[in-house]
């Protein structure tokens, strides 16, 4: 595989999934401009907004984020999203390979509610993501209003 199953990436994945760890996102990038070798390039506790701030417009990257939201005053939901980021400056050959290589990453970061294919940071607005998670999760307690 391309390194998506490296010990560092697996440990970060476990941390994001754990209720006992504050880590709530991870970011995987290509190690070089050519090739499919992947490396863990970041983790953090600042949620989706922090992950978005780390995205590189010149790279294809993969993110995994824990998103918590409330359905009502009584319940809190925890969902996970898989992000496939292709920055506007990514070369054509890399873009073409991402569709194939993202499958390997997706197999390693297997537990997620939705996949978000992002080309611009606006694709990763938290309100829009929560709306998608509510729809994917079934019940919508807000009548469709995020």
* Residue pLDDT, tens place only, 39-71: 999 999 999 999 999 999 999 999 999 999 987
CA distance 109 to 43: 14
Mean of the per-residue pLDDT values of the chain: 90
Q: Facing residues of 38 across strands?
A: 30
Taking the model in full, what pTM does it have? 0.90
For residues 15-47, one letter each, b for 16 or more C-beta atoms within 10 angstroms of the residue's C-beta and e for the rest, the string is bbbeeeeebbbbbbbbeeeeebebbbbbbbeee
Would you state the pLDDT for residue 142?
A: 46
Burial class (CB in 10 A: 0-12, 13-18, 19+), 127: exposed
The larger pLDDT score, comparing residue 73 to residue 119, is at 119
Question: Could you state, in order of their start, the residue ranges of all structural domains in the chain?
Answer: 7-137
CA distance 89 to 42: 20
CA distance 53 to 40: 16
pLDDT digits (tens, 9 = 90+) for 119-132: 999 999 999 999 99
User: Options 3.40.20.10, 3.40.50.1010, 3.40.50.620, 1.10.10.10; which CATH number does 7-137 get?
Assistant: 3.40.20.10
Q: Facing residues of 39 across strands?
A: 29
**DSSP designation for 110:** -
pLDDT digits (tens, 9 = 90+) for 82-113: 999 999 999 999 998 898 889 999 999 999 99
């Amino acid at each position: 595989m391309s390194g998506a199953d490296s010990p560092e990436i697996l440990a970060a994945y476990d941390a994001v999934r754990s209720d006992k760890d504050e880590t709530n996102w991870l970011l995987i990038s290509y190690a070089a401009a050519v090739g499919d070798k992947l490396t863990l390039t970041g983790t953090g506790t600042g949620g989706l907004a922090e992950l978005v701030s780390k995205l590189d417009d010149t790279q294809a990257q993969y993110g995994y984020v824990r998103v918590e939201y409330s359905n009502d005053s009584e319940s809190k939901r925890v969902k996970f999203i898989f992000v496939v980021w292709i920055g506007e400056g990514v070369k054509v050959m890399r873009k073409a390979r991402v569709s194939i290589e993202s499958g390997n990453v997706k197999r390693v970061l297997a537990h997620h509610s939705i996949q978000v294919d992002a080309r611009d940071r606006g694709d990763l607005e938290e309100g829009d993501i929560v709306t998608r998670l509510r729809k994917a999760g079934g019940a919508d307690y807000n009548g469709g209003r995020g």
